[in-house]
Structure 1
Amino acid sequence: MPMDKTFDAARAEPEIYAAWEAAGAFRAGANARPGAESFCIMIPPPNVTGSLHMGHAFNNTLQDILIRWHRMRGFDTLWQPGTDHAGIATQMVVERQLAAEGNLTRREMGREAFVRKVWEWKEHYGDRIVTQLKRLGASCDWDRTAFTMAGAPGDTRKGHENSPNFHDAVLKVFVDLYNAGLIYRGKRLVNWDPHFETAISDLEVENVEVDGFMWHFKYPLQGGQTYEYVERDENGNVTLRETRDYISIATTRPETMLGDGAVAVHPSDKRYAPIVGKLCEIPVGPREHRRLIPIITDPYPDPDFGSGAVKITGAHDFNDYAVARRNNIPMYRLMDMRGHMRDDGAPYAECAARAQEIAEGAEFTEAEVDTLNLVPDDLRGLDRFEARRRVVEQITAEGLAVTTRADDPRLGRAARKPGAEGAEAEVPLVEAKRIMAPFGDRSKVIIEPMLTDQWFVDAGKLARAAIAAVEDGRTAILPEQHRKVYFNWMRDIEPWCISRQLWWGHQIPVWYDEDGNQYSATSEAEAVAMAGGRPLTRDPDVLDTWFSSALWPFGTLGWPEETPELKRYYPTNVLVTGFDIIFFWVARMMMMGLHFMREVPFHTVYVHALVRDEKGKKMSKSLGNVMDPLDLIDKYGADAVRFTLASMAAMGRDLKLSEARVAGYGKFVTKLWNAARLAEMNRAKPVPGFDPAGAAEPLNRWIAGETARAGAAVDGALKSFRFNDAANGLYAFVWGRVCDWYLELAKPLLADGHPAQAETRATLAWVIDRCLILLHPFMPFVTEALWGQIASREKMLIHADWPEGGAEDPEADREIGWVIGLIEEIRSVRAEMNVAPGAKVPLVIVEAGAAEAARLEAHAALIARLARVPQMIRADAPPRGAVTLSAPGATLCLPLGDVVDIAAEKARLEKASQKLEKEIGGLSAKLSNEKFLARAPEEVVEEQRERLEAAQSEAGRLKAALGRLAEMA
């Protein structure tokens, strides 16, 4: 049956994928040679709530390229798939679904019933991302699909042979770390989401620039004390000297002033030296119960920012928390779990009195401080933002706001115009400014730093081995700059908060008796036995999602059981991941793998860059520049999308993706298809055992050598994770060497009656086969389709043998390379000189060596057809108006004097050159401007660099063309 005229990706892709699955082509060990070395990649598990986005498409394309390449090379491969239970995201989705359906709320339903609902949702929707990955062509061993909650209570697939009981692994890890003293419960500052009422990780916090305010307030000194406040310029000259009875601070969160434990200044700040150690008054709350707090020194305050004095509220700010810990400052929690001001505990007067004793030196405990509610009675229970409004109102009414002129530009829109009525009046200094505010990425509410009791891993101890493993090379991190990021994080690591106040997740395996004693066990029965039969209550919290996913490299292989897969595939070979989770996931897998397996979880971490839009901007729904990979697959096919991403995967450089580029590689798919059709039309069929290295025709030996070089280049590039070099090299080989040159040069040899017809048919079929094999990891669908259509095969292409080595023929390379070079040179000169396409220009042979003369004679017809040379003329010297060609071993030229208006062409080129030089000057000046480089967005700077590079390249081309014109004059 003849081939279809075009490749119908929409029809063919699902059929091909189904055939792969039916043949078990993706299974662990498929196509492995006897005694083969293993090659394993663990997929970064997408959230079970997720759908395929461009980041997934990029990440999984790179993994699939590596897996298919190794599978064809006979390695014992495993690409381990699976999904993450995504605690907060999944709980949110199910709660919204319940609300939309008018069902009971989570709390009305109860924990057990709600968790059952989540499992039902997971069974119904949880495989969506897997289905979408299959559309991309991902060749994972789907029979082994893992889930980070597999085996947990409610799992209907519990004990499924191909889904390891991940829950048991998680519980064992927790208990073992707890017993080793590496997990403990304590009170620390965490990111608190008031909407979900849970702690969240830094990765789940989005820092967004918003319009905000900075209020400036006075903290009066105790008892009306005064001091001389002096400001100086950088030369030491006094610019301000006045007597003050206060110290001023600036804050964007006035409601937190109620919990201040101190005011800090820098030790070198001489302005405040006279009052360090004294007490100042928090300017809010009932007058008779105003608290006094100490003025201390600490390296944290910046003397050049604001007033140089910083209020320290350790329970509600991460920087303040560090200062408070260094200086033993009490940390007073002001808010409840909903983000409302506390409404519990003793009356304010009683709490404030005890806090005053502490400020004056009384001993205190962390537990006692947590009971003290320092929110005044009239503010208790208020939403934090309403409390902010009232605090500002009260301080301003009392005259304790720092003031400024009404025309101060810092007031923003509230500022009066200079010279306007009332412009000189004094008003409270409330700076209008852009501030960074932390939002929950799911809840979209402002996150509150909160001092709460949580479970923590002593990450500092676990990090030591993980640092050493990268230092000594057991695990390589690529590109190099991410190695430095890894070390920076790991060497300054904080305790890892692993508890979450959710219901969906691995419930923490700790039980408490009535006295508060803790019992950590893998089951309640075991805990009860440890407690001597006393009644126990289980900790209601669940584990951070990152805790369970940190076990991914060995938990998916059956650990803690000593399974054959664990022995065969751990440590894994490479992890392909994004830069944003180096710390949250990569570092934690390193820590857990080394602690429990005594080996690194992977030998290489390849950190890929970000997929941006064509202008270099990050894709986001708000910008409307999100490109959906599924839409692109629908339009252009998975192969075009995959090849586009691979071709742009330069190590350490973000991708600038455009639909036009995907469309361009869609044409490459068509080009490959047409090349195979040309082979079919010429009755070129694979000949078993045929090797073109021994062909009689130099052209066939040449393409054999080109193919060998292309294969070696792909191998070298993929071994060093240069995906773009591999893809672009293949593109240049297939489109350039094979389609543009070999197919054109071979046409005469394929003609009926030519003595080299059979050999050339066999060579053409061999070359097409090699193209399909080399392209398969990048473009699996079209290559598999062609493989099956060209001939009847013993194996599918996915299991075809990857070529190793290959003969090169220097003599054939020289001959064919010389001919191609001459044709390209003639074409280039005609284009540079603006010669009309239909103009007939002969080739003048002034001088030629024996070998070159033989080549000209042997390939005269080809040169005439492909270079549009109607005839070859011999001459003793170049004729007037001729352009000399670059042809080693020969003096050849094109007489263009009669077809080119030299004066007009020179004027055109000079005008274009002058315009380019002006553009180059402007771009160079801009890129030499330090202010531009510092202030302009990264994508804008990169765009300017690319424009400069393109302009310089074009200027070089114009210069060469002007040089040729000068030669003709």
Structure 2
Amino acid sequence: MEKLNSVYEPQAVESRLYSWWRDAGYFQPAPGEQPTYTVVLPPPNVTGRLHMGHALTATIEDTLVRWRRMCGEAALWLPGTDHAGISTQVMVERQLVKEGTSREQVGREEFIRRAWEWTREHGGIIDRQHEALGASLDWSRYRFTLDPVSSRAVREAFVRLYEDGLVYRAFRLINWDWASQTALSDLEVEHRESDGSLWHLAYPVEGSDDVLVVATTRPETMLGDTAVAVHPDDPRYRHLIGRRVILPLTGRKVPIVGDPILVDMNFGTGAVKVTPAHDFNDFEVGKRHDLDLVVVIDKRGKLNENAPERFRGLSVAEAREAVVAALAEAGALIKVEPHKLNLGYSQRTGVVCEPLPSDQWFVRTKPLAEPTIEAVRSGRTKILPEHREGDYFRWMENIHDWCISRQLWWGHRIPAWHCSACGKITVGREDPTACAHCGSTAIEQDHDVLDTWFSSGLWPLTCLGWPDKSADLQRFYPTGLMETGWDILFFWVARMMMFGMYFGGDVPFRTVFLHSMVLGEDGRKMSKMRGNVVDPMELIEKYGADSLRFYLSTMAGQDQGIVFSRARVEGYRNFCNKLWNAARFALMNLEDFGPEELAAYRAQVIEKADVGPLAIADRWILARALETAIAVDDLFSQYRLDLAAHTVYQFVWYELCDWYLELAKSNLREGAPPADRRATQGTLATVFDLVMRVLHPIVPFITEEIWQRLPRPADAPASLMLAPFPRPRTRDGEKVLELDGPVQRVGAILAEEGTLRAREDMTALVELTTAARSLKAEFKLPPAKRVEVLVRSEDPEIRARVARLHPLVVHLAKLQQLRLMEPHEAAPKEAATEVVRGAEVILPLAGLVDFAAERARLSKDLEKARKEADGLTAKLQNPGFRGKAPADVIARGEARLVELKGDLERLQATLTRLGG
């Protein structure tokens, strides 16, 4: 049996094991009739690098995929990347600027060539980083949203939607990102509240001395006003409807219209300026009242030729300042009030978007959304956490048509050709040579490309070969799980639902599991500008992939922001080291325990549920290992990776390592009875096998490395990732675990009388040992100091148990002796006592403690703790401190105060025992 190195070195293990798994084809689903489980990886940007959100996604998905694979399902995890239309175009344009040129100068064909060159040079980095994390993706089925398969699917989807009347071209107001020079959909605009102003402007009423005072948050757009709206029921203005006002600065005369939809009589002055070209609400007013459309802001975000000459070429911010000054000079500025603004920012470039009128392509979404709403309501697709379903319904029930055209060159070019002869549009699956309406050859392809979310909305379909009826599509669609961040529920999940049902004929996934955002250690969104970004690769290099994965698994159940903690990653590195050292101890004691001995143990203990040959500790740890395996399987099925990780952590660290391994030493020592040694060796091998299987989905590398060295049957799978997960089944009315080898009769083992008694004995053993250790620690006695401890109880059953456990307590607590007191024997006068269930554990103090010195020490500690508690209480009760201190500082202070109160009670109780 090959030994483990003395120290676990992730760097020496992880890349070697990953290459073996990948090259052996273990990531590919097995052929056959077994149930399928499919997950598509949310495609990261092709030029992206792994960040903590990616790492969380990959950890959750890989854990679930590995678990399902071990459960015997044909698990398929599909990788790929997104061409990232805006992001990639921005990167290539920056490169061109450095070369002293631009995309317009090099032309579209050369620009596309450069973009592909950039993609080949910078793409693939994140794929290698996913490998470093241990992601068991089927790389043989890799997709890219601009590859031939995806491109064909995107074109088919567009054409089919167009033929069905669900894609159309229209002149509408859209969100314009002047920095990247493209239209955006509503979802790509992030609305943020900021401080602004409300300007009150006086518009003279034509042919009278009256003025209408309008209130606006954008005075620069008044240059493009084409009406003033009032409420038709407002007695202040009803008589003015149908007349005209004269715009200050331009002299243009515009009508006063009555509009009950736009105007709130109680807001501002009750009169609203109408700029249809630069406000979404005003655009609708313009359509209702047939108003002119005067565009005064161009696509560069500057004022154009429709504005008075003195304002042309100014940016929006510059124009606002200049227009306000000019209005004040003209006497048209009545007053300015502070006002909260809700501004729309481009998620891609961060600039404030401009509403601009434009010819764009749209998807009619309501007919697509309705079936998906029903699918979620009926449970065909389940959204977790469940309260996110409400968000989904609110969005889908109020969905707007989707602007899908982008004024970019990198992406899927819209397959539509405009005819200069008849003005009509030809859309086709193949490039046409003539207009389908008039036959003219004077046709030109639309210059725009499709929104990146259009192609990624087809992702579950294109990953499986749609529009062809491929074998993969028929076997693996619908997929089992879509796991992603809650923040793209509408961007991506909703669009996949619409396209999946429309084109695939069924929901694209059975479950949507939404995780939360990983925040920086300061509790804020990670940002390079804030300097709080954490690089997962740096953590993997320092602590190993398993440590990072374990940490992320423990955070996977939170629905709020996940505040990153480097200290906790380090803590799980310590867990991996503890597991490694425990495995080294086990393997050193299993060198003479091979497949034959393991088969004999399993045949008697596991297959027949005969725990008779096992010691108390062996029965207990076997039962707890089986229970832990069952609990983890159940928690995985509920997507509670956090609780699963916590459950197995507690078992391994405290029960297996801290208690069982110490107890097992007596039966493993040289000279122990051979039957006892074999029984403990069998338990040790079985429990470690169970632990490796249960932990493998979360921490695949270290578990594989250990499992490869454990004794196992000759016909066992070559890799742990192919070994059966300890998943409970019911057979003939009995709960069993169907692993390789004999069926584990877990129900019978857990219900066996000897197991039940052993568990009660172990509970008592832990309590007695802990009490004895605590008493020694309370009086600063060295842990190794051998002392006498007394136990007093009048319960015959408890007395019998203490007598039975006597040698184990003496060994674990390092006692001189453990003496069971007679029922009516008086306790020593100078003694300390801990009460456990049904018994008192007593430490005689005579000869062990200098009472005067101990009382002085305790009094000093008590005063120090009291002073700290008083100071902390005063600080936490200070409104000034609570109003300014960060929430995490207050939380730490409150937690420390709870600790101090416990210390004060303990110190006072101990001092009282010593007569202080």
Question: What band does the TM-score fall into relative to the shorter chain?
Answer: 0.7 to 0.9
- Output the amino acid matched with 1:395: L
Give 1:480's aligned residue: 386
More divergent stretch after superposition (109-118 vs 837-846) = 837-846
Would you say 1:456 and 2:362 are equivalent positions? yes
Q: Deviations over 1:22-53 (max 9, x none)?
A: 11111123xx7x53211111111101121111
- The answer to whether the 8 Å contact 1:258/1:282 transfers is no
- The answer to whether the 8 Å contact 1:257/1:282 transfers is no
Q: Deviations over 1:285-338 (max 9, x none)?
A: 34xx33234264546566776556543323223344455556665543222222
Alpha-carbon offset, residue 798 of structure 1: 1.5
Which residue, out of 525, 544, 569, partners 1:637?
544
CA distance in 1, matches of 2:843, 2:260: 80
Q: Secondary structure of the residue that 2:793 maps to in structure 1?
A: strand
Give 1:859's aligned residue: 805
Which residue, out of 728, 734, 747, partners 2:646?
728
Q: Secondary structure of the residue that 2:168 maps to in structure 1?
A: strand
Give 1:7's aligned residue: 8
CA distance in 1, matches of 2:663, 2:259: 82
Would you say 1:803 and 2:726 are equivalent positions? yes
Would you say 1:107 and 2:76 are equivalent positions? no
Alpha-carbon offset, residue 561 of structure 1: 1.1
Q: Secondary structure of the residue that 1:115 maps to in structure 2?
A: helix
- The answer to whether the 8 Å contact 1:48/1:84 transfers is yes
- Output the amino acid matched with 1:53: H
More divergent stretch after superposition (757-766 vs 206-215) = 206-215
What does 1:649-664 align with in structure 2 at a 5 Å threshold? 649-664=556-571
CA distance in 2, matches of 1:527, 1:563: 33
Give 1:582's aligned residue: 489
When the two structures are superposed, what TM-score results if normalisation uses the length of structure 1?
0.83
Q: Secondary structure of the residue that 1:795 maps to in structure 2?
A: coil
- The answer to whether the 8 Å contact 1:843/1:869 transfers is yes
Q: 1:921 to 1:823 in 2, by over 3 A?
A: farther
Would you say 1:181 and 2:165 are equivalent positions? yes
What does 1:522-601 align with in structure 2 at a 5 Å threshold? 522-525=429-432, 528=435, 532=439, 534-601=441-508
Structure 1: 5+ residue stretches without partners: 152-164, 227-244, 344-372, 404-428
Give 1:247's aligned residue: 213
More divergent stretch after superposition (613-622 vs 869-878) = 869-878
CA distance in 1, matches of 2:260, 2:349: 35
Q: Deviations over 1:213-251 (max 9, x none)?
A: 65443233333444xxxxxxxxxxxxxxxxxx4414242
CA distance in 1, matches of 2:270, 2:14: 64
- The answer to whether the 8 Å contact 1:250/1:307 transfers is no
Alpha-carbon offset, residue 910 of structure 1: 8.0
Alpha-carbon offset, residue 64 of structure 1: 0.4
Give 1:168's aligned residue: 152
Which residue, out of 468, 471, 489, partners 2:377?
471
- The answer to whether the 8 Å contact 1:275/1:295 transfers is no
Give 1:706's aligned residue: 624
Q: 1:438 to 1:770 in 2, by over 3 A?
A: same
Give 1:817's aligned residue: 763
Give 2:732's aligned residue: none
Give 1:402's aligned residue: 334
- The answer to whether the 8 Å contact 1:264/1:301 transfers is yes
Which residue, out of 221, 226, 229, partners 1:261?
226
Would you say 1:311 and 2:273 are equivalent positions? yes
Would you say 1:290 and 2:274 are equivalent positions? no
- The answer to whether the 8 Å contact 2:704/2:720 transfers is yes
Alpha-carbon offset, residue 503 of structure 1: 1.1
Would you say 1:393 and 2:325 are equivalent positions? yes
CA distance in 1, matches of 2:195, 2:861: 53
- Output the amino acid matched with 2:725: W
Alpha-carbon offset, residue 851 of structure 1: 4.4
Q: Deviations over 1:130-183 (max 9, x none)?
A: 1111111111001101111111xxxxxxxxxxxxx1111111111111111111
Q: Secondary structure of the residue that 1:223 maps to in structure 2?
A: coil
- The answer to whether the 8 Å contact 1:283/1:290 transfers is yes
Give 1:494's aligned residue: 400
Q: Secondary structure of the residue that 1:616 maps to in structure 2?
A: coil
Q: Secondary structure of the residue that 1:825 maps to in structure 2?
A: helix
Give 2:839's aligned residue: 890
Would you say 1:878 and 2:827 are equivalent positions? yes
Give 2:18's aligned residue: 17
Alpha-carbon offset, residue 6 of structure 1: 1.2
Q: Secondary structure of the residue that 1:516 maps to in structure 2?
A: coil
Alpha-carbon offset, residue 961 of structure 1: 6.6
CA distance in 1, matches of 2:910, 2:859: 10
Would you say 1:778 and 2:698 are equivalent positions? yes
Aligned residues: 867
What does 1:614-625 align with in structure 2 at a 5 Å threshold? 614-625=521-532
Which residue, out of 91, 95, 105, partners 1:93?
91
Give 1:130's aligned residue: 127
Give 1:364's aligned residue: none
Q: Deviations over 1:868-921 (max 9, x none)?
A: 433223252333354543433434333458747568647855874686588579
- The answer to whether the 8 Å contact 2:422/2:438 transfers is no
Q: 1:842 to 1:531 in 2, by over 3 A?
A: farther
Give 2:677's aligned residue: 757
Would you say 1:144 and 2:62 are equivalent positions? no
CA distance in 2, matches of 1:269, 1:866: 87
- The answer to whether the 8 Å contact 1:298/1:323 transfers is no
Q: Deviations over 1:191-228 (max 9, x none)?
A: 211132211234544556777665443233333444xx
Structure 2: 5+ residue stretches without partners: 729-745
More divergent stretch after superposition (906-915 vs 772-781) = 906-915
CA distance in 2, matches of 1:573, 1:925: 53
What does 1:821-832 align with in structure 2 at a 5 Å threshold? 821-828=767-774
- The answer to whether the 8 Å contact 1:507/1:540 transfers is yes
Q: Secondary structure of the residue that 1:606 maps to in structure 2?
A: strand
Alpha-carbon offset, residue 613 of structure 1: 2.0
Q: 1:749 to 1:263 in 2, by over 3 A?
A: farther
Give 1:237's aligned residue: none
Would you say 1:51 and 2:54 are equivalent positions? no
Give 1:117's aligned residue: 114
More divergent stretch after superposition (104-113 vs 696-705) = 104-113
More divergent stretch after superposition (877-886 vs 573-582) = 877-886
Alpha-carbon offset, residue 517 of structure 1: 1.2
Give 2:736's aligned residue: none
- Output the amino acid matched with 1:69: W
- Output the amino acid matched with 2:8: F
CA distance in 2, matches of 1:790, 1:623: 48
- The answer to whether the 8 Å contact 2:178/2:354 transfers is yes
Give 2:298's aligned residue: 336
Would you say 1:515 and 2:464 are equivalent positions? no
Alpha-carbon offset, residue 854 of structure 1: 4.0
When the two structures are superposed, what TM-score results if normalisation uses the length of structure 2?
0.87
CA distance in 2, matches of 1:718, 1:946: 32
Q: 1:634 to 1:200 in 2, by over 3 A?
A: same
Q: 1:954 to 1:811 in 2, by over 3 A?
A: farther
Alpha-carbon offset, residue 925 of structure 1: 9.4
- Output the amino acid matched with 1:880: K
Q: 1:658 to 1:255 in 2, by over 3 A?
A: same
Q: 1:303 to 1:166 in 2, by over 3 A?
A: same
What does 1:58-97 align with in structure 2 at a 5 Å threshold? 58-97=56-95
- The answer to whether the 8 Å contact 2:410/2:449 transfers is yes
Q: Secondary structure of the residue that 1:773 maps to in structure 2?
A: helix
- The answer to whether the 8 Å contact 1:478/1:607 transfers is yes
